[in-house]
Amino acid sequence: MEEQNKRKSIIYLTIGVLTLVSLVVGATYAYLQAQVKNGTNASVDITSGSTDHLVFATDGNITINASADNFKENGLDLSDTATASAILTANNTTHIANDTYNVYLDITNNNLEYSSYKKENDTKIYLKKEVKEEDITNGILDTYTPIPELYLKVDGPTTFNKKINGLNLDSEGYDITEKRGLITIAEDVPISTTAPEGMTTDTWTITITFKNLKTNQQLNTGKELKGKIIIQKEKLVLSKLLADANKEGEEPTLLYHDGQKDYAKEANYALEAEDYSYRYTGGNDVVNNYVCFGGDCSNEPTNDNYANLYRIIGLFDDDKDGVYNIKLIKADYATEDETGGEGIGARSNSYYDIDESIYQGKLTTVPKYYWNNDTNNNNWGESNLNTKNLNEFYLNYIKGKEPETEKWYNMIEDHTWTTAGNTEENIYYSQNAKNTYNNEIKNPAVGAALSTAVATYPARVGLMYISDYMYGASQKNWTTVASEYSSAVVNNWLYLGLNEWFITRNASLMGSTYIIDETGNSTHRYISDNYSGLTYYDYTIRPVMYLNSNVKITSGTGTSSNPYIISQ
């Protein structure tokens, strides 16, 4: 125990010295300490279903507000702390239990800036696991060195300089000055307990400190950092997807839309949706976001399981509570087996005469649908494509995948779709990706064309938004207006080559709504075959849905040949 206390003293002394150095070089300096130690916590959040019991507790979020009053030149540092605990209790038979858990930090808001020219000395994370007596007894710390880092018990030699979400450790910790979104603190952390105690508690204490300087701090006055600890048995789906999509040295393909720069190669970050979503962006050759939904799947169109191949548009936190839902879209166009044949809902009597020079999917027969062939109004609530083909026929098709449990159907979240739409001028004429998103989702307008149109519509299944499609392209294309998006299709994994309906209505014309045309541009078309004697249009569709937040990834890498396997 004496040796353990000595080691702790060295750790704290080292941190103190490093903090002193940071003040000397004159950088705004914030750091985070993560400690794990034995303790107790009475608040239980999650319980496993095994004979042994692994439960979790959290206490508090992290908030730092730098104001003119609390963050003056030569003033005090700003700090806040939160805790999370994993509590393992052994069964009454063997009194032995072994398990693992995962710890994350979700930085939901952070607009703190670098205040010195030496950016590497600014906002930092210190990550350290306080050692236990048994670690020393078992000789695990033979190669331990007292530097501020995350220490994990692993098989084999102890390793240091661990990279966390691409954050490199230097002598002063991990730089998070402009970091937002999810940070994986530790995954597969082992926890065990044996008689006579029969219970072990690991408590993580997360402290973020924003260092004040002997210089003018006006740059960060009024700035804020918010975060919370996530501790749970299962790995976060988002952690897995980020690790696969944003590999070091490669262009990131899963971007956090907070309107601030997070990635070294990021361009046009000011045009992000700022809805705190994570969206896949880039060409089909770089975006690996395939998922099996409905059972086994195949990327070969002659295989019946090709119908179960989907792709992830992104992860969305509509309630802004840190809980994300995966948004899925069919990897190829819907077939009659899935959404209904002739005489069902909005299905027309036509099939595409497929031009293989533009079609990038693999189907040999692609059916066509009107947007609404019932009332002829572009109110999504009245659309029989919505009510019949998608939210009746398609859902029954999904239920039939495992009829006894309705497993796949139950994975689909009820969602409120934004269906008011907007005018042509506000959607695709002279509008970049962000303006289109704002006019389509944040500030839609029903318009005089149909005053009774519903602004939102609750359903399990919908279609793509125009902004979904525009953000699917590489960042460099986000300045391109929707009516001229053909120049971006080579960089957009969502482009498949055929005319396709969006969910978004045209608020300028009662019988019109928006599409992707064969060139990749966005334009409007009339929605049925009997609207005022005008030319009618029937196009392809791809069902879109949000999955429940408790859906998890069990295997796969996201490629079409090795798609993600999900379960609930």
Q: pLDDT digit string (tens) for 201-233? A: 887 777 777 777 666 667 788 888 888 889 999
Give the structural domain span for 380: 334-403+416-542
Does residue 316 contact residue 327 with C-beta atoms inside 8 Å?
yes
For 264-278, what is each residue's pLDDT tens digit?
667 888 999 999 999
Give one DSSP letter per residue of 206-275, joined into a string.
EEEEEE--SS--GGGTTEEEEEEEEEESSPPHHHHHHHHHS-TTS---EEE-SSS--STT---GGGS--S
For residues 343 and 228, membership in a common domain is answered with: no
For residues 204 and 64, membership in a common domain is answered with: yes
Residue 320 domain flag: no
Residue 43 domain flag: yes
Q: How far apart are CA 80 and CA 63, in angstroms?
A: 6
Residue recorded with tokens 């166009």 = 333
Q: Which helix (H) or strand (E) holds 11?
A: helix 2-25
For residues 343 and 195, membership in a common domain is answered with: no
CA torsion 238-241-246-251 (nearest 10°) is: -120
pLDDT at residue 14, rounded to an integer: 25
Does residue 431 contact residue 439 with C-beta atoms inside 8 Å?
yes
Q: How far apart are CA 320 and CA 274, in angstroms?
A: 12
- Structural domain tally of the chain? 2
Low-confidence ranges of the chain (pLDDT < 70): 1-50, 74, 114-175, 177-178, 213-217, 263-265, 447-452, 530-535
Last residue of a domain, one of 235, 270, 296: 235
For residues 215 and 339, membership in a common domain is answered with: no
pLDDT at residue 451, rounded to an integer: 58
Which token pair is 347? Answer: 């299905």
Count other C-beta atoms under 10 Å from residue 350's C-beta: 14
CA distances from 230 to 85, 163, 209, 395 (A): 10, 19, 19, 33
pTM for this prediction: 0.82
Q: Residue 544 phi/psi, 5° resolution?
A: -125, 140
Q: How far apart are CA 209 and CA 63, in angstroms?
A: 10
Last residue of a domain, one of 235, 250, 266: 235
Helices (H) and strands (E) in the chain, counts: 10, 28
Which token pair is 534? Answer: 């005008």
Last residue of a domain, one of 216, 235, 254: 235
pLDDT at residue 136, rounded to an integer: 45
Residue 558 domain flag: no
For residues 219 and 344, membership in a common domain is answered with: no
Helical H runs in 168-221? none
Give one DSSP letter per residue of 207-223, joined into a string.
EEEEE--SS--GGGTTE
